A and B are shown apart, each in its own frame.
Chain A
Amino acid sequence: MIKFKNLVVAALAVGAFASSAMAIGFTKKSELGGFDGFVERMGAGVRELGRGNTGSADTASMPGAYWNPALLGFRENIGYTVNFEKRDLDRIGGAVGVEGKVGKRMGVGFAMLYRGDTDFKVIDDDDKTLGSASPFFSMFYLGFAFRATRQDAFGLSLSMSYDNLDVAQYFDGIEMEDSFRSPVTINLSWFRQWNEKWSSSVIIRNLSFSENLSAKWTKNPSKDNSLASTEGVRPKVLQIGIGYRTKLLGKNVGAWMEAIDYQVADTLLAFDPQLHVWTGRVGFDCEIIPNGTLRIGMDDLDWMFGAGYKFDIRIGRKRFPIEVNYAFLYESRAGIWTPFTLGLRGYIP
């Protein structure tokens, strides 16, 4: 049996390796930040954010359609989640999800992720501020799961993005297009609960029907073709997660870790390390008081702290479990603190 201390050391080591992968120059060909997909790279759900955006190997993670559609196979009730965050530089975001059981072995879920900027100043060639735009970027997921055994479930989700730049109104003489929609992409996943302590997940994201199965599509920024068409590209993702739950000093604790590989190339499979960006996530949570949890985590180089509290609301004879979550985020590369994220989740029995 692996001792918790060893697990922490191992988790930190793998996380640090993954986190430092970028720093030591594996990304010579392209910068991950220049690709589409930041909406999903930033995770969803304040509970998971507080522990380093780790959620793929935890059956309780929500929205399951985003984190790992296989998790939907473990739903017993209708679950819902609503999350909101306000980051520095006028960035706001959020996620909503609803999911439930279908039949004995299946689950289905929907998720929407949202990121936007509430004050993008449109400045023209004359250094004149024409106004403020509120561009937003969203992703939608529809997930399905099949629970093959008591321990294993397989999931599939269909995702697509819808973006709106909100700047067309400021362009004169060009019939500019504001909104862009990606084609449907496919995400495949597997979840296994090895025993009451260990769990694991494998997810492959952003497969499409194009050549090389890449999630790549054309965007035409103008209706009159006065602007050159551009391409949207979301890298293929391989995400592997591990979860470990135990009791420490009589308190429930959990350790979570994810290794993520982004293939920043339009090829079916690329083995050249220069065409990959590896990152890692690691998180811990501890139920320090009954129903009250503290969390800490690291997503790549960003640090997070979180807290959550569970309680029930009784309506008639029914109890509705609810959890309120909060997270504090430090985006270390940019040196930005985000003190305000809030999430609500629960189940309808």
Chain B
Amino acid sequence: MKFGNIKSIVAGLLVGGALCGNAIAAETLFSNNVFAVAPAGAEGSLWAFSRNGSYSGVTLLTFNVPDKGSVSLESTEKEAVSDTLTAVHNGFLFDSDEFAERRRIPAVYTGSKLGLVLPMFAMDDDDRYLQPAGFFSILDPKTINEYAIEVPSNAEDFKDPMKYTVSGFAYDSTGKRLWLARGALGLMVHDVSSNKGSKDTTFVLNVEKEELEQLKGSTVLDSTKYLDVYDVRLHPETGDLWLATAQGIWVKSSSGLKNVSKKLKDSRVTGLWMGGNPLQIIAETNYKDKKNVVGGLWRIYGEKSKDFVKVDFLDTAGKVLKKDIYDEADYTVGDVAFIGNKAFVLVRTAGGSASGYLKLDSLGVKAWEQDDDGKNQWLYGYETGATDRRFVIKSMCAFPLSKKRMGLAIATYGNGISVSADSGATWNVILNRAKLDNNLGSIRMVPSVITPGDEALVSYKVGRESKITIEVFSYDMRKVRTIVKNAVRNADALRSTNPKEDFWDGRDDHGKDCTMGVYYIRVKDNHGHIGWGKAMTLGGNFR
């Protein structure tokens, strides 16, 4: 959709959701379609990167942390990036890219030199953001630098430019060097140690010689000789460079370059994450066989572990199960956030139908519930109150809220961000909301154009506790749907909507898709107030 700077609106409340916490009154985001969150260096600061249609931008959020542990938003600043560039490529936006290393946006805060770094994409010949173009370096909302990276002639034979997309960053604050994992183009270092400017050098991992050799114009990029590099990390204790590659995990240390994991020696390792106390190193393996995406989650936990072991999935009683979440669907890891001895692993299915985070402790991932069918629930998300609408979670990070407390943030495609000050026990939602007239004086369907299955939120406000009835009528005023009937809603200064219930999905009372057209949504309270909103569905399929 077209997009301009969002009008500043006070936002924030959460109605319903057992685990949902305090309401937040907030300046809003660049867009509710948030694809990446990352620490911003200072305590209580968070970056959010949004894309809405062709327009992208960042929001810098600053939080207050009162004594009780709740979070309140103090301020936000937002700015658009160039309207021909974005950090969110189309494969990530539409969840259409099946390669795990491209199903995340590496967003890393590097310090004052480069600030927040994010990959940068330009449009290809078909006007799709699928052309890797370099990286963003965002120091503050007013200082958004665009670093273009030259594509060497060696890569001209690649039909798919996304083969050399940037899928990982690691910043060496001592050497003032930014390492970039570039897939088929190996590893690049962006050296900013000199006052005269930066210098870029590209290396490829020669599997035969077991060394990183500088990419030359004459180098033929044979994937059997030179390994794709999908992620890069700097070990927080040793400072060694860890590389996730098409054949195992390689570590560059003072003693040379080695494939360090016997278990993952030949595995396609698509992601690496390090953090927590004790230190955890988490690796994702992922490849595509004939039909399915085959994923796996591995880790090294603490100093005693010598090699990666597969992460255990436990039932609610703590029994280790033979089957894990990867046996249920084609999951890939989006991000990993570390707080203390826990890792919060964001996963998402290919296609984006399911998303949520796993809580990984010393034992493994323990199910928080077993449903009536005996299925273990490992994913935290909408069902546990992390979001108040069933939207896809695209990114996750831990960030310092204060000296003593780490916060968690998740980014959703459509429902802004959620922030937790208590390691995910309660969440606060922050998103854009328009001002509403009191007592059903204005009804807004957000968004007002949907396809069946989408959710158009019925946004309204009442001045006192009310019993609300929401009904959908066709153009000829035939009732097609009762959304809620006499549902109790509280007075609220901003919005009385219960986002878990008060939405229309483009279907009638029997679950059938309504055909294309304009529909009218009536909201009535028990005090004689009536308001009308409008929504358009593009129609569905006759079933």
Contact = CB atoms under 8 A, between A and B. Distances in A.
Interface in A116-145: 117, 120-130, 135, 137
Contacts of A121: 444, 448, 534
Contacts of B449: 122, 167, 170-171
Interface stretch (B148-156, B262-270, B517-525): B517-525
Interface stretch (A146-154, A197-205, A225-233, A237-245): A225-233
B330 to A, nearest CB: 21
A230 B6 contact: no
Given A38-B517, A135-B536, A233-B542, A170 B475 contact: no
A137 B478 contact: no
Given A30-B508, A33-B474, A33-B508, A123 B445 contact: yes
B477 A172 contact: no
B538 A31 contact: no
Contact of A29 (B31, B510, B522): B510
Nearest to A126: B432
A129 B1 CA distance: 11
Nearest to B4: A128
A38 B481 CA distance: 16
Nearest to A222: B538
A219 B516 contact: yes
Given A33-B474, A172-B2, A230-B538, A123 B516 contact: no
A28 B510 contact: yes
Given A127-B9, A135-B536, A231-B542, A331 B512 contact: no
A230 B459 CA distance: 27
Contacts of B433: 127
A64 B54 CA distance: 50
B516 A163 contact: yes
A232 B478 contact: no
A167 B541 CA distance: 21
Interface residues of B, number: 59
A199 to B, nearest CB: 26
A266 interface: yes
Contacts of A33: 473-474, 476, 478-480, 508, 514
A172 to B, nearest CB: 4
B515 A334 contact: no
B534 A120 contact: yes
A42 interface: yes
Contact of A31 (B28, B53, B447, B481): B481
Given A31-B510, A33-B508, A89-B534, A333 B478 contact: yes
Contacts of B3: 124, 126, 128, 172
B504 to A, nearest CB: 12
Contacts of B445: 123
B434 interface: yes
Interface in B426-479: 432-434, 444-449, 451, 459, 473-479
Given A33-B508, A137-B517, A171 B479 contact: no
Nearest to A27: B510
B478 A32 contact: yes
Instruction: Indicate the member of B445, B475, B534, B540 with the most A CB atoms within 10 Å.
Output: B475
B447 A123 contact: yes
A343 to B, nearest CB: 18
B376 to A, nearest CB: 32
Contact of B473 (A28, A123, A232, A334): A334
A345 interface: no
B485 interface: no
Contact of B448 (A28, A120, A173, A266): A120
Interface string B5-38: 0110100000000000000000011011100000
A174 B541 CA distance: 21
B296 interface: no
B477 A30 contact: no
A122 B53 CA distance: 15
A216 B516 contact: no
Contacts of A227: 451, 538
A247 interface: no
Interface residues of A, number: 54
Nearest to B534: A120
B6 A126 contact: yes
A168 B112 CA distance: 43
B518 A34 contact: no
Interface string A85-105: 000010100000000000000
A35 interface: yes
B474 A34 contact: yes
Contact of B446 (A31, A123, A219): A123
B55 interface: yes
A261 B296 CA distance: 57
Contact of A91 (B53, B475, B481, B530): B475
B509 interface: yes
Contacts of B6: 126, 128
Contacts of A219: 516, 539
B513 interface: yes
A306 B518 CA distance: 28
B525 to A, nearest CB: 14
A173 B123 CA distance: 11
B538 A336 contact: no
B25 to A, nearest CB: 15
Contacts of B520: 89, 334
Contacts of B2: 124, 130, 170-172
Contacts of A32: 474, 478
A180 interface: yes
B76 to A, nearest CB: 13
A104 B359 CA distance: 84
B477 A35 contact: no
B273 to A, nearest CB: 30
A230 B32 contact: no
Contacts of A336: 477
A122 B448 contact: yes
A335 interface: yes
B1 A130 contact: yes
A115 to B, nearest CB: 6
B447 to A, nearest CB: 5
A319 interface: no
A254 interface: no
Contacts of A231: 515, 539-542
A91 B451 CA distance: 22
Interface string A21-55: 00000001111111110100110000000000000
B242 interface: no
Interface in B78-98: none
B226 interface: no
B167 interface: no
Contacts of B451: 221, 227-228, 230
Nearest to A22: B478
A122 B456 CA distance: 12
A120 B518 contact: yes
Nearest to A166: B536
Given A125-B32, A126-B32, A137-B475, A89 B532 contact: yes
A228 B536 CA distance: 15
A29 to B, nearest CB: 6
Given A120-B518, A170-B1, 5 more contacts: A33-B478, A33-B514, A163-B516, A172-B3, A335-B530
Interface of B: 1-4, 6-7, 9, 28-29, 31-33, 52-55, 414, 432-434, 444-449, 451, 459, 473-481, 507-510, 512-518, 520, 522, 530, 532, 534, 536, 538-542
